[in-house]
Amino acid sequence: MLSYLLLCCWPALHAQTDPGLQPDAVIKGSYTDFTVDNLGNIFLLDSTNQLKKLSPAGDSIAVYNDIRRFGKLYSIDAGNPLKILLFYRDFGTIVILDRLLNVRASIDLRKLNLYQVKAIGQSFDNAVWVYDENEARLKRIGDEGNLIDQTGDLRLQLDDAPSPGVIEDHDRLVYLYDSSKGVFVFDYFGALKSKLLFQGWQDFQLAGKFLLGRKAGMLERYQLGSLSPEEKTIPMLRDARKVRIAGNRLFCLRTGGLWIYRF
């Protein structure tokens, strides 16, 4: 359904390039990060380090106040609406929240001798993917902090192993995005399936059968298996600090709040 919406909405996005285009909604506030789950719920991190969960209509659902317990929050992963991952990269810690932002568990990656992890992601079996840069291995970790499985050394099949900033598990494949090297696509056993040279993207994400990324005011979309990406210039992206697409909505984080466009 999501891929269908993106496919249908792409021309509409191109048409809505008027700088005066009005958003469908604006959530005003001083926010430093956000994400959106596949149900349309919005997760907003504000400048006081409070994490808020809002419904698609903007109603408050839950609040999490203990953000600074493990230092600076690096990323929020809401790929599973029932399991929210907070990644504290500097302290090597993952905090797992339930759908109401109650703490379910925390994982200390250092206890697994994982000292160079830049990115994490939800896995197909409700565990957590991490990429160990010391060993160049994808590892799958359970909520109790136990190592479930790992790939072989990826340097054996790559001339230059990635240093990913994003990990996404999608349609039985794992995507590692390194903005300086591109997209590395692996199966669950660590075999390289493909490498896509989309470099310099911000806000990398997978949506249905599409890869999406942003360069300044340009939104690029690549349909998996096609030969080349499509590019659309969208003026409202130029001053955006972060962008995500979910369903038929485009979310732009700016100074002063979160702008939501419906297309």
Least confident of 2-11, 37-46, 153-162, 178-187: 2-11
Confidence label for 68 from pLDDT (cuts 50, 70 and 90): confident
For 217-233, what is the mean pLDDT?
82
pLDDT at residue 144, as a whole number: 93
pLDDT at residue 2, as a whole number: 32
pLDDT at residue 13, as a whole number: 41
Residue 19 has pLDDT above 70, yes or no: no
For 164-172, what is the mean pLDDT?
95
pLDDT at residue 4, as a whole number: 30
Residue 239 has pLDDT above 90, yes or no: no
Domain that holds residue 46: 2-262
Mean pLDDT of the chain, nearest integer: 89
- Domain CATH for 250: 2.120.10.30
The string of DSSP letters for 57-115 reads TS-EEEEE--GGGGSS--EEEEEETTEEEEEEGGGTEEEEE-TTS-EEEEEEGGGGT--
Structural domain tally of the chain? 1
Rounded CA separation 174/235 (Å): 32
For 164-189, what is the mean pLDDT?
96
Confidence label for 230 from pLDDT (cuts 50, 70 and 90): confident
Helix, strand, coil shares, percent, the chain, to 5: 10, 45, 40
